[in-house]
Chain A
Amino acid sequence: MKDANIKRIVIAGGGTAGWMMAAALSKVLGAKGAGGAGIEVTLVESEAIGTVGVGEATIPAIMKFNAQLGIDEHEFMRATQATYKLGIEFRDWGAIGESYFHPFGRIGFDLEGIDFHQFWARLKHLGDSNGLDAYSLNTRAAYASKFVRPEPAHGQVINQMGYAFHFDASLYAAFLRRFAEGHGAHRIEGRIEHVEQDGETGLVRALKLDRDRTIEGDLFIDCTGFRGLLIGQAMGADYHDWSHWLPCNRAVAIACERAGDPVPYTRSTAREAGWQWRIPLQHRTGNGYVYCDDFLTPEKAEAVLLDNLDGAPVSNPNHLRFQTGHRAQFWAGNCVAIGLSSGFLEPLESTSIHLIQMGIAKLIALFPGTRDAPVERAEYNRLMEDDFRHVRDFLILHYKATSRKDAPFWDQVRMMEIPDTLTQKIELLRSRGRFFKYDAELFDLTSWLAVAEGQGWGPQGHSPAADRLSESNVRQSLANMRSVYAKTIDAMPSHQAYLDKYCKAAGETLRADAA
């Protein structure tokens, strides 16, 4: 096979991953893109094969993806029945009956260059009862069901907020499909029957479809989901299993009617053998139970889920099996796996779409000049493994930092050995609230602190630097912050009112209103 420049990209599989990739590549590299880099983007999918819909909840990093594509936020929200998301509420994770909130955005204001939480920890150990929630605009807004989109003119308090979205994954894929096709991507309806490889190099040469069709390409993107039709079955990339740290291996999902106005946060409720998600959309609520089948049968999981819905079911239960971990090679030969074909981490922190986004961004940054690009491939694999590992460690924290002793599942995860790097990180955080980000890891101090504190593993001391200010000064400063946050929340519109005004998924009249 001649090692020519990449001119044709073939994406195998649609769904969220496939259409995110098609949208990004057609925008950045497609023939209709600025300057016309001139790469042909083709996506093959079959309507006969369902999609998993990897995630309906996101994290703030998705804003960057939307911005790079030039997507109008309100238009995107209307098209996908989306709601805003200010964070995640965790119920029964540290102990049954307890709950906490993992907010996006910042918590408190630093004082004299010293992290806010050091002063907060100082007061806490002096008996102050105000939790982290009192200093998080996101948390307070979420529980008050308030929302306003931060704008530069809003000042520094509102601009502490971070936000993301809940959306209907199938509508999101459809929205991106329109975008990608508008930027020159081609869609082919068909079932992939065979992956044709070069006899000498092993590189993928073409996809053989039903009705004797052949789709040739230079670079292939595997978005075929858990099957990993190209990366696993054809290229033989092994799978690194992490289920000894994250033992959940099944999920059952179902949508139900919405009950009241949608709240601007995801809820994760710990259950006997895993956890249940609740994702509020404009038109319905998404629900699911992620669990480990060593401790619970699918029938029991479905029954528990059905017993814990806000409204009547509007879809049939969808049972999924998965294995936590990732491909040893995310990019093998001239095939790059994106989405579920590349690996899976349970959606406890809504990272599924983010990991797709990371894969796309890294592929564009390291876009190969030729079909076989060993150096770029090695760097891509190294960076993606780092991304997966960092998310994995944060997820493990949720299971390890529990005092639940009510079920064998929780005994197992509470007692499990964890990676050394995570042990060091947790110990630093627990002793005096110290936190250092490793490499380009996704979750920052706010996230680690919120989860650790929420599950009873928060700082047991504080930095001596926080003793520089007098106790009365610290108490006054923190009281002022609480007051400012309370006034800011009062002035915000309700989440539903904001949706109604700008993002309501309805007819053209409302679209015109929003404009």
Chain B
Amino acid sequence: MSSLPSLWPLAGIAIVIAGFALRANPLAVVVAAAFGSGLGAGLGPIEIIAALGRAFHQNRYVSVPWLLLPVIGLMERGGLSEAAAALIQRTRAATASRILLIYLLFRQLTSALGLTQIAGHAQSVRPLLAPMAEAAARRDDPALDEAGANRIKAMAAATDNIGLFFGEDVFLAIASILLIKGFLEGAGIIVQPLDLSLWAIPAAVVALLVHGLRLWRLGRRR
């Protein structure tokens, strides 16, 4: 056991677990965790702040999708959510289950073609998918309460995530596939991205079946 490294840098992970268990504000948890791990590894406070600052600056691309908020807000101002609800009112065949199921398939197929950015929580879930699913659920069950409507909306967001996660790896130029290829190459194992992406297909099919079954039951439960 003498080769075990010092465990103090793991302090940040302990802080993350405790913070989320206590439902503390995640921003405070992240900063505390950075200081916990940094100090545990022997970094000074100034070094830790500078490292956080550099990483925060480098990671600005994560926030670029917020550029879409004015577009979504303007579309809502023009009545997009109302149009989505009206369309659903007229189309009785479009149940909440079917809408989410079709979206799941759409999200998996487009992600498998590498088109991960054409849909998403800001692009499609908030302006279109959630209002449509909610309108369909309310039409088919006038007694649906607020908590039930919120469960439908949460399922819309979950469906987007699952379609994306278990679709994108079928595309061979996606970041995670390239990461696997690069890592194996570093270990002297040459693999083709196509072979890796083929092995993402079983999980994509099972995701469609499992989540599709859950969406189908969503409509049966009421």
Query: Do A and B make up one complex?
Result: no
By a beta-carbon cutoff of 8 Å, the part of chain B in contact with chain A is: none
